[in-house]
């Protein structure tokens, strides 16, 4: 974080500064990182005591002080020696502090902010953008999936006076949440990747999802840029809702940043990248799955707007082997067995893309095994969407389907009701049962996909399978 005095922070968060028994004064400067987990605190850092669903950050404030916290932001005074700023809402104070830091860094005139949203692909695109932009300037981007009202401001607070690019991943589970993040850090470039059924149950339907994602671009100014997916019929109309210049990316002819000659293999996806300038280059993109090409195109579009030369864009894209842990992560290798662990998250769109990739990359005569768990947060659409994925597995001729967990069981039922399979779909209740089954049934040369929402916990099953066949 940029250096701010305790008094300046108190004003920014509209809180009451209490110095307690410390030797600090209102003019004491703080420039450490900001945390909501006391275990991450190091000397000079700030700890925000955030009440949580299962616990209360105030219970861990003493640990933060022991670790060297220079300041506590709390909702009630604590009997501790460190300086404290007492606020009415710790999460709100976190956002207010982030907005203050962003405004001060922006005042230097160098900072460019890129906001990224979409139902799928945010984290991959964020990581790709970081890889490209780090080649040309000091870049801050979120760790893991820091994209909500807590994670996004924590990333913003990593800014320093030298930062040139901030990539802000902005997720939401309801209308108004992206708008709230944008008030902290209005993007110069707003990216909308895709609108799908991820979190549709929380949003209240696809129309509400569209409204929420459109918040990324509706308040952009004329000098800003909206980077939109030309191939998504729910994203394309957002062009009529923004004052910003629109840059289209996609596979179709209406995109100005596009890919041609797309070819999917087990080593990745090759394509020819075309920029709006007319320049083009071949790319060997090693992140597995044709669907990730769209994330690469969005990255290229943003990078071109920011003046990154095409050769640097291509070199950065080709340097990335893994988008993020548990996202199309290739593991295994023993006896020719390939394990693809893509169980960090799942929606109908990403599940479809992963199954299509599995079917595309298996070599001739090689078996494909799909180990699938629940797609969460689909609300009333959950039943029919799980049915649809089960039928898709049949139609893609996946050799063996293993469905894990009661919430995903309809996938298994829909496949056996199709009537064309005899024992090619199996159901187990737990990941442990799935591991036992797969340890005995996976054959040399098989390609195994593990895919589910985070809550189903299959990402750890994927890790165990990767170790088993390594």
Would the annotation count 145 as a binding residue?
A: no
Residue 246 CA neighbour count, 13 Å, CB half? 20
Distance, in Å, from the CA atom of 107 to the CA atom of 248, rounded to the nearest integer, reads 30
Euclidean distance between the first and the last CA atom of the chain, given in angstroms as a whole number:
42
Buried b (16+ CB within 10 A) or exposed e, 223-249: ebbbbbbbbbebbbebeeebebebbbb
Instruction: Determine whether the annotation assigns residue 122 to a binding site.
Output: yes
Nearest to 64 by CA among 99, 106, 33: 33
User: Does 399 carry a binding-site annotation?
Assistant: no
In whole angstroms, give the CA distance from residue 258 to residue 456: 35
CA distance 32 to 46: 6
**Which H or E element spans position 382?**
helix 382-395
Which residues, other chains included, contact 140 with Cβ-Cβ below 8 Å and sequence gap of 6+? 155, 156, 158, 159, 163, 165, 166, 167
446-460 b/e with 16+ CB inside 10 Å = b? Answer: bbbbbbbbeebbbbe
Q: Residue 29 and residue 248: Cα distance in Å, rounded?
A: 44
List, in sequence order, every residue forming a beta bridge with 340; answer none if it has no partner: 330, 449
Helices (H), 205-266: 206-218
Q: Which is nearest to 460 in space by CA: 326, 285, 334, 329?
A: 326
d(CA 232, CA 193): 8
d(CA 418, CA 433): 25
Residue 273, SS3? Answer: strand
Element counts in the chain: helices (H) and strands (E):
15, 22
The answer to whether 119 is a known ligand-binding residue is: yes
Say whether 194 counts as a known binding-site residue: no
DSSP codes joined into one string, 199-221: THHHHTSHHHHHHHHHHHHHT--
> In this structure, what token pair is assigned to residue 38?
């006391």
Question: Please, which residues bridge with residue 2 across strands?
Answer: none
Binding residue ranges:
118-124
Binding residue ranges for ATP:
118-124
């Amino acid at each position: 974080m940029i250096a701010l005095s305790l008094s300046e922070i108190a004003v920014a968060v509209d809180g009451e500064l209490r110095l307690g028994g410390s030797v600090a004064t209102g003019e004491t400067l703080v420039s450490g990182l900001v945390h909501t987990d006391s275990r991450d605190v190091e000397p000079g850092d700030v700890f925000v005591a955030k009440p949580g669903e299962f616990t209360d950050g105030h219970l861990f404030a003493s640990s933060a002080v022991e670790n060297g916290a220079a300041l506590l932001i709390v909702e009630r005074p604590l009997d501790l020696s460190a300086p404290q700023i007492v606020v009415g809402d710790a999460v709100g104070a976190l956002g207010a502090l982030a907005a203050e830091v962003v405004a001060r860094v922006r005042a230097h005139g160098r900072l460019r902010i890129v906001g990224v949203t979409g139902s799928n692909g945010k984290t991959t695109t964020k990581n790709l953008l970081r890889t490209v932009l780090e080649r040309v300037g000091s870049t801050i981007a979120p760790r893991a999936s820091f994209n909500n009202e807590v994670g996004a401001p924590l990333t913003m607070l990593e800014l320093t006076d030298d930062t040139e690019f901030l990539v802000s991943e902005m997720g939401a589970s309801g209308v108004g949440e992206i708008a709230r993040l944008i008030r902290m850090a209005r993007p110069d470039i707003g990216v909308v990747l895709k609108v799908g059924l991820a979190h549709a149950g929380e949003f209240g339907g696809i129309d509400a999802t569209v409204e929420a994602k459109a918040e990324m671009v509706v308040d952009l100014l004329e000098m800003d840029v909206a980077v939109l997916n030309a191939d998504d019929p729910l994203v394309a109309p957002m062009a009529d809702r923004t004052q910003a210049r629109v840059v289209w990316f996609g596979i179709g002819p209406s995109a100005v940043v596009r890919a041609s000659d797309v070819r999917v293999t087990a080593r990745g996806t090759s394509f020819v990248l075309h920029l709006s300038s007319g320049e083009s280059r071949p790319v060997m993109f090693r992140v597995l799955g044709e669907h990730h090409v769209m994330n690469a195109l969005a990255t290229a579009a943003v990078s071109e707007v920011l003046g990154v030369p095409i050769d640097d864009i291509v070199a950065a894209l080709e340097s990335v082997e893994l988008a993020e842990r548990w996202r199309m992560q290739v593991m295994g290798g023993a006896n020719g067995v390939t394990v693809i662990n893509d169980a960090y998250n799942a929606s109908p769109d990403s599940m479809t893309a992963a199954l299509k990739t599995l079917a595309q990359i298996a070599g001739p005569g090689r078996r494909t095994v799909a180990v699938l768990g629940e797609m969460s947060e689909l609300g009333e659409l959950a039943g029919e969407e799980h049915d649809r994925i089960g039928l898709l597995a049949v139609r893609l001729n996946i050799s063996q389907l293993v469905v894990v967990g009661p919430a995903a069981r309809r996938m298994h039922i829909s496949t056996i009701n199709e009537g064309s399979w005899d024992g090619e779909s199996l159901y187990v209740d737990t990941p442990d049962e799935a591991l036992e089954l797969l340890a005995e049934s996976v054959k040399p040369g098989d390609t195994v996909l593990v895919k589910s929402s985070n809550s189903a916990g299959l990402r750890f099953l994927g890790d165990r399978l990767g170790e088993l066949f390594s």
